[in-house]
Amino acid sequence: MTAAEHFEEPIRGHMVLVPTPPPGGFTAHDLPRLMEVIDTRFELLDGEVVMMAPSTHWHNEVIDILKFALRRIAPDWAVIASEQGVDLGSTVPEPDLLAVSRSVVTADSLAFRPEDVHLVVEVVSRGTRTTDRILRPAQYAEAGIKCFWRIENESNAIVVYTFELLPEGGYAPTGVHRTRVVVDRPFPIDIELPEVTW
């Protein structure tokens, strides 16, 4: 083999405007203005803008499957949302799915206070393993969000790991679900986990 056979084309890019944070950093209050100048999905982490990696097809399919399954059974007080933030002040993570109080949802909602969020769901991707398995649960638990689900890809099958907030803080695992999710919090849930197909 020659050196030419191992040559890979360099990764190309384009200019992206990343705003300079003000003293103290950006907060959820700044999201509408930031959305006007940042032409890609982003989150806030300690007041800094963090670009979000592109999602895989499997990731997006799983979000759609779970969103529609949860919407069918959600009680009247709950709205199942996606691509919305959780307002932790200078940190605004954007879970893949959330169950939030209907009373606080408006057409212009961008982020919700933790006390209005009853469930957060993160679908783990190759580029988000550390974030979704370690950082996000710690942030959500510290904020007092009662229920957290982590979704893993097991040979293209959906595996749902469910967690509940302990009184002393942190999450306790409540189950590993491979074909069906049956839990009673944040509301009674009984949903099938179909094969991910396209």
Strand segments (E) across the chain: 42-45, 48-51, 78-81, 85-86, 97-101, 111-112, 117-123, 147-154, 157-165, 171-177, 180-183, 189-192
Q: What is the reported pLDDT for 188?
A: 97
Amino acid at 63: I
Q: Which two tokens stand for residue 16?
A: 């992206």
Give residue limits of the domains in the chain: 3-51, 57-192
Of 168, 156, 162, give the one whose Cα is nearest residue 197: 156
Q: What is the reported pLDDT for 6?
A: 64
Q: Which two tokens stand for residue 139?
A: 């942030």
Of 158, 196, 197, give the one whose Cα is nearest residue 180: 158
Mean pLDDT by runs of 10 across the 198 residues of the chain is: 66 72 91 84 87 87 97 98 94 95 96 98 88 92 97 95 96 97 97 88
Phi, psi of 62, deg, nearest 5: -65, -45
Stated pTM of the model: 0.85
Looking at the domain 57-192, which fold is it? tt1808, chain A (3.90.1570)
